[in-house]
């Protein structure tokens, strides 16, 4: 099985960490989405990563569909069995992915638009959502229980992306969140190698 990914991609990091945690073997294949290589766009018309290629050629995307696929592949080891806990994990994943969506929107706005038409109110609107999301997490810190779940990997990927692309801009007032990656690393040392990296 192959995972099409890029080192800086937070959603790819989420999936790589989860598959590694579950001991699911896969080959990580680095792709440049800007170049729209055939291996990517033939599998995923959206040209986005992560895209997972199963042994029978099935392409699976996006990251949440891949996470659910990994859950089934691992004998249901990625999300809690009890309904209430499972919903909690899925909502945590939705929140952290949603914050990541806002962060990526900001990065793309600055990277892809000519400087003179970068729309600062749009960036501010995205950042407000990031701030609200981080404050919510700070006030409701998810526990690292006996097993890690999809929500934890999404949160690790989102915080890793903040550390990579927004250093010095998010930490204020979020002490528990700044301490969380270290606690997560204690439980999952591979975070050091698999977190989003430039």
Binding site for ligand GSH (CB under 6 A): 9-11, 33, 47-50, 62-64, 97, 104
Output the smallest distance, CB 139 to ligand GSH, in A: 25
| Strands 27-30 vs 51-53: parallel, antiparallel or unpaired | unpaired
As measured in angstroms, the least distance from the Cβ of 5 to ligand GSH is 9
For ligand GSH, the closer CB: 37 or 47: 47
Residue with Cβ nearer ligand GSH (34 or 141): 34
Min dist. Cβ of residue 169 to ligand GSH (A): 19
* Cβ(161)–Cβ(101) below 8 Å: no
For ligand GSH, which is the closer residue by CB, 33 or 138?
33
* CB of 65 vs ligand GSH, minimal distance in Å: 8
> What distance lies between CA 125 and its chain's CA centroid?
21
Q: Tell me how far apart the alpha carbons of residues 181 and 192 are, in angstroms, rounded to a whole number.
A: 10
Identity of the residue, 96 or 137, whose beta carbon is nearer to ligand GSH in the bound complex = 96
DSSP helix/strand/coil, 71: helix
Four-CA torsion 4, 47, 67, 161, nearest 10 degrees: 80
């Amino acid at each position: 099985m192959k995972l099409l990914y890029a080192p800086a991609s937070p959603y790819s990091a989420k999936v790589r960490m989860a598959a590694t945690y579950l001991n699911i073997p896969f080959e990580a294949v680095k792709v440049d989405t800007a170049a729209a290589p055939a291996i990517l766009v033939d599998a995923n018309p959206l040209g986005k990563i992560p895209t997972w290629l199963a042994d029978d050629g099935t392409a699976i995307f996006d990251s949440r569909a891949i996470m659910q696929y990994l859950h089934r592949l691992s004998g249901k080891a990625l999300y809690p069995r009890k309904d209430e806990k499972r919903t909690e994990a899925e909502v945590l994943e939705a929140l952290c992915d949603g914050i990541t969506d806002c962060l990526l929107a900001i990065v793309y706005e600055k990277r892809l638009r000519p400087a003179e038409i970068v729309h600062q109110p749009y960036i501010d609107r995205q950042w407000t959502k990031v701030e609200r999301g981080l404050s919510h997490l700070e006030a409701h810190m998810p526990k690292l229980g006996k097993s890690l779940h999809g929500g934890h990997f999404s949160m690790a990927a989102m915080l890793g992306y903040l550390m990579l692309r927004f250093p010095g801009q998010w930490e204020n007032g979020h002490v528990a969140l700044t301490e969380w990656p270290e606690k997560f690393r204690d439980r999952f040392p591979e975070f050091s190698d698999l977190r989003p990296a430039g």
